[in-house]
């Protein structure tokens, strides 16, 4: 299985915020945005491993600015690290106001996906090769984020989280 680059999994999904997508304040509903983000992240993960994928976890969704009715949503997603059968996908969400002609950051999040074989069992995924400094930072941080997800999910003991512990222990 040949290693892949983050750029090979990159997805940009664009949506228009319509009245049915908004709450009483004319803002895009968070649940609708998370739905779109899940689709974009799944596409990026599937593109990386060339296989069907399922969402394993969603974490660290930060809502920075609302997206208004009539604005455009751009969701950028790409794989930041692959493990054995899972992949972390980083998403950035931008709102674009055509009336006032500006683009603004709205959200950021991390999703984790597991690749499936034809029997719906987890299957190995390609290794990720990072190229840029930003990709390297996301790649390195992915292991710490993974350990935190595993601890919170009860699948890892805090004492076994070596990468996380290293952040808090002085040399």
Mean pLDDT to the nearest integer, 67-94: 97
Tokens 């290794």, located at residue: 127
The predicted pLDDT at position 170 comes to: 65
Q: What topology does CATH give the domain 6-130?
A: Thiol Ester Dehydrase; Chain A (3.10.129)
What is the rounded CA–CA span in Å between residue 133 and residue 110?
19
pLDDT digits (tens, 9 = 90+) for 45-69: 999 999 999 999 998 788 899 999 9
Tokens 């974490």, located at residue: 59
Q: What pairing do the DSSP bridges indicate for beta strands 72-82 and 11-16?
A: antiparallel
The predicted pLDDT at position 156 comes to: 84
Tokens 């599937």, located at residue: 46
Cβ neighbour number for residue 168 with a 10 Å cutoff: 6
- CA-angle at 109, arms to 69 and 19, nearest 5°: 15
What is the rounded CA–CA span in Å between residue 145 and residue 88?
9
Q: Is the pLDDT of residue 165 over 80?
A: no
What is the rounded CA–CA span in Å between residue 58 and residue 170?
31
């Amino acid at each position: 299985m040949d290693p892949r680059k983050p750029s090979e999994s990159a997805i940009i999904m664009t949506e228009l915020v319509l009245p049915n997508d908004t709450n009483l304040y004319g803002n895009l509903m968070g649940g609708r945005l998370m739905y779109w983000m899940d689709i974009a992240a799944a596409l990026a993960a599937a593109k990386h491993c060339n296989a069907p994928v399922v969402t394993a976890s969603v974490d660290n969704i930060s809502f920075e600015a609302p997206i208004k009715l009539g604005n455009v949503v751009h969701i950028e997603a790409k794989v930041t690290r692959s493990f054995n059968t899972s992949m972390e996908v980083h998403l950035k969400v931008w709102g674009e106001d055509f009336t006032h002609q500006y683009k603004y950051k709205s959200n950021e999040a991390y999703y984790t996906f597991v690749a499936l074989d034809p029997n719906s069992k987890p299957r190995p995924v390609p290794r990720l090769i990072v190229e840029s400094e930003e990709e390297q930072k996301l790649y390195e941080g992915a292991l710490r984020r993974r350990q935190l997800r595993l601890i919170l999910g009860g699948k890892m003991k805090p004492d076994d989280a070596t990468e996380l512990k290293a952040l808090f222990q002085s040399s």
